[in-house]
């Protein structure tokens, strides 16, 4: 999935992306240490900047992106509530499963994998849902869904958005768009180790929050108190090193500037997609909705999917992903996100493919 996992983490004489592991080596502190608590507060403040929100309830949930997804649903849906879920890939499908386990009434709006959701169709699926949910950047297909258009027409419904592969890579504007609940993950465009789920929830959603969610660990009523500075209450032991790492990564991102980071992803993605087409390869995701950070391309006829991916990994230290679900063996998914979104990686991959495919 990540373009150059080995380049990212080594081996080799030097790690070209020290930012990716910054903070992990910071000396351990206790989870009640005032210095740790102030770092946690600052991490939440930095997250607000990156999410573009003033939401007080903004924090890193302990767990990977999927924990963020589950926290989002269990705190907003009670049995019998109506939720409309837009599905055009693996992660939208997973949202339906999570919502079903909350015993909600799930209304699916499907679009073919590789194409974007139709916002109007999502909005017209039900007259008065409690919640509308969709994935901003579908990592399984490389497609961007139009969050702003759904937000504009959501009416009284709450809007929940998966930003796991969008936060830090393409524009996300929680308050500007009017998104009520959103979650992300550390290991995609933020370029940190996996293990935390940046999370935010606005006032409208807090007011309608489930009071006694089926999950104890992910109950935001309690987790919210856990990150609230001076009045902080013990809920669980914070994963100290991961929070140090996220703190450092968000600092680096804000120093680079959000716009500059989006532009870096955009220009690398464009160069990659142009280069692939020049090699005669066919881009798979719908034009106009292609993610720069996750490019999907059709495996050319007569080419051995697994053999090419193995050679890329073993000879060049580049890892690309295969297709998932019905598209296994038929497409490649090329991640170019976080610290790996650099022109040198694009050049290296295009050169490697030129050689391996004999173009
Ligand atoms: C990776 C991903 C997730 C799940 O995140 P994990 O960190 O693997 O739990 C959810 N949604 C999307 C869109 C993703 O790309």
- Give burial (CB, 10 Å; 0-12/13-18/19+) of 229: exposed
What confidence tens digit (pLDDT) does each residue in 229-269 have?
Answer: 667 888 999 999 999 999 999 999 999 999 999 999 999 99
**CATH code of residue 300:** 3.90.1150.10
In the chain, what are the helix, strand and coil shares in percent, each to the nearest 5? 40, 15, 45
> Structure tokens of 35?
């210095």
The residues, any chain, with a CB within 8 Å of residue 10's CB and separated by 6 or more, are: none
Could you tell me the distance, in angstroms and rounded to a whole number, from the CA of residue 197 to the centre of ligand 1? 9
If asked whether residues 347 and 201 sit together in one domain, one would say: no
Task: Indicate which residue's Cα is closest to atom 2 of ligand 1.
Answer: 164
Does 161 contact ligand 1 (Cβ within 6 A)?
no
Task: Indicate which residue's Cα is closest to atom 14 of ligand 1.
Answer: 164
| Domain count for the chain | 2
Q: What is the pLDDT of residue 13?
A: 39
295 pairs with which residues across the strands?
334
Does 164 contact ligand 1 (Cβ within 6 A)?
yes
- Asked whether the beta carbons of 320 and 309 are under 8 A apart, the reply is yes
If asked whether residues 167 and 243 sit together in one domain, one would say: yes
- Asked whether the beta carbons of 338 and 266 are under 8 A apart, the reply is no
If asked whether residues 286 and 197 sit together in one domain, one would say: no
pTM equals 0.95
Q: What is the pLDDT of residue 233?
A: 83
Q: What is the pLDDT of residue 337?
A: 96
If asked whether residues 89 and 169 sit together in one domain, one would say: yes
Task: Indicate which residue's Cα is closest to atom 8 of ligand 1.
Answer: 65
The answer to whether residue 296 sits within a structural domain is yes
If asked whether residues 229 and 284 sit together in one domain, one would say: no
The answer to whether residue 107 sits within a structural domain is yes
Q: What is the pLDDT of residue 21?
A: 81
If asked whether residues 114 and 70 sit together in one domain, one would say: yes
Could you tell me the distance, in angstroms and rounded to a whole number, from the CA of residue 184 to the centre of ligand 1? 8
**CATH code of residue 150:** 3.40.640.10
Q: What is the pLDDT of residue 43?
A: 97
Does 64 contact ligand 1 (Cβ within 6 A)?
yes
Domain ranges, residue 67 = 18-256
Rounded Cα distance, 161 and 202, in Å:
12
If asked whether residues 203 and 148 sit together in one domain, one would say: yes
If asked whether residues 299 and 246 sit together in one domain, one would say: no
If asked whether residues 164 and 70 sit together in one domain, one would say: yes
Does 185 contact ligand 1 (Cβ within 6 A)?
yes
Could you tell me the distance, in angstroms and rounded to a whole number, from the CA of residue 302 to the centre of ligand 1? 31
If asked whether residues 43 and 130 sit together in one domain, one would say: yes
The answer to whether residue 275 sits within a structural domain is yes
Could you tell me the distance, in angstroms and rounded to a whole number, from the CA of residue 104 to the centre of ligand 1? 22
If asked whether residues 98 and 118 sit together in one domain, one would say: yes
Q: What is the pLDDT of residue 310?
A: 96
Best CA proximity match to 43, nearest among 250, 349, 194, 219: 250
Q: In what order do the strands lie in the sheet with 294-298?
A: 294-298, 331-335, 321-322
Residue spans of the chain under pLDDT 50: 1-14
Kindly report the number of other CB atoms within 10 A of residue 154's CB atom.
21
| For ligand 1, mutation pick of 63, 64, 65 (most atoms within 8 Å of CB) | 65
Rounded Cα distance, 341 and 326, in Å:
28
Q: What is the pLDDT of residue 5?
A: 44
The answer to whether residue 189 sits within a structural domain is yes
């Amino acid at each position: 999935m990540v373009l150059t996992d080995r380049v990212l983490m080594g081996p080799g004489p030097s790690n070209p992306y020290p930012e990716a592991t910054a903070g992990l080596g910071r000396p351990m502190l206790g989870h009640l240490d005032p210095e740790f608590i102030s770092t946690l507060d600052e991490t939440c403040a930095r997250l607000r900047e990156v999410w573009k929100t003033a939401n007080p309830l903004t924090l890193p949930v302990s767990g990977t992106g999927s924990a963020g997804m589950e926290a989002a649903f269990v705190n907003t849906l009670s049995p019998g509530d109506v939720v409309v879920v837009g599905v055009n890939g693996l992660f939208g499908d997973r949202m339906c499963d999570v919502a079903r386990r909350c015993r909600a009434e799930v209304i699916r709006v499907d679009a073919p994998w590789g194409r974007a959701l139709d916002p109007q169709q999502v909005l017209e699926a039900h007259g008065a849902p409690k919640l509308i949910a969709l994935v901003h950047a579908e990592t399984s297909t490389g497609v961007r869904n139009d969050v702003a258009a759904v937000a504009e027409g959501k009416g009284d419904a709450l809007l929940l958005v998966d930003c796991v592969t969008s936060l830090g890579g393409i524009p996300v504007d929680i308050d500007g768009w009017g998104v009520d609940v959103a979650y992300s993950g550390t290991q995609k465009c933020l370029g940190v180790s996996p293990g935390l789920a940046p999370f935010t929830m606005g006032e409208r959603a807090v007011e309608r929050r489930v009071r006694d969610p089926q999950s104890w660990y992910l109950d935001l009523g309690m987790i919210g108190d856990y990150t609230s500075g001076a009045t902080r209450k013990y809920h669980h032991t914070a994963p100290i090193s991961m929070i140090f790492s996220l703190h450092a990564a968000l600092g680096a991102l804000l120093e680079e500037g959000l716009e500059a980071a989006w532009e870096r992803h955009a220009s690398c993605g464009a160069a990659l997609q142009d280069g692939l087409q020049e090699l005669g390869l066919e881009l798979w995701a719908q034009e106009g909705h292609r993610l720069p950070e996750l490019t999907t391309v059709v495996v050319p006829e007569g080419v051995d999917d697994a053999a090419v991916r193995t050679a890329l990994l073993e000879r060049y230290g580049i890892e690309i992903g295969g297709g998932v679900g019905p598209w296994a063996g038929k497409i490649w998914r090329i991640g170019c996100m976080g610290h790996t979104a650099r022109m040198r990686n694009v050049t290296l991959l295009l050169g490697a493919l030129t050689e391996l495919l004999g173009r």
